[in-house]
Amino acid sequence: MITNFFIPELNNHDVQELWFQQDGATCHIARATIDLLKDTFGDRLISRFGPVNWPPRSCDLTPLDYFLWSYVKLLVYADKLQTLDHLKDNIRRVIADVGKSHRKLDVQIRLHPSQPWQSYARNHI
């Protein structure tokens, strides 16, 4: 996925200053994966075993894990899908709507991070 899709897609855009952030799932932190991401992002990698070690249950990733994916799935499958194109259209529509309707959630999460994150941020950022 990273080699065949993600990195080629990045090369189509001006992303020299882009940071990459991921959770600490075992499949995401395999040595080969981390090495590939370090080669691609250098010091702009936020991950377990990366240059910037991301704390477990980070307030930045938790909303994706515990809110966004369930919410998107609920809306994507709200009507009976007939074709792959129908599925793709639903995904595009739902993601576009999430971007518009949930900005307040993102701002609240970033303005009111958990106490452990505040401590981590003071010491590492």
pLDDT tens-digit map of 29-80: 889 989 999 998 888 888 888 888 876 666 666 666 667 778 888 999 998 9
CA dist., res. 41 & res. 39, Å (int): 6
Q: What is the mean pLDDT of residues 15-33?
A: 80
Contact, 6 vs 15, CB < 8 A? no
Question: What is the reported pLDDT for 65?
Answer: 65
pTM: 0.49
Mean pLDDT of the chain: 75
Indicate if the pLDDT at residue 108 is higher than 90. Answer: no
Provide the pLDDT confidence category of residue 103 given band limits of 50, 70 and 90: low
Our separate counts of H helices and E strands in the chain read: 7, 2
Contact, 22 vs 46, CB < 8 A? yes
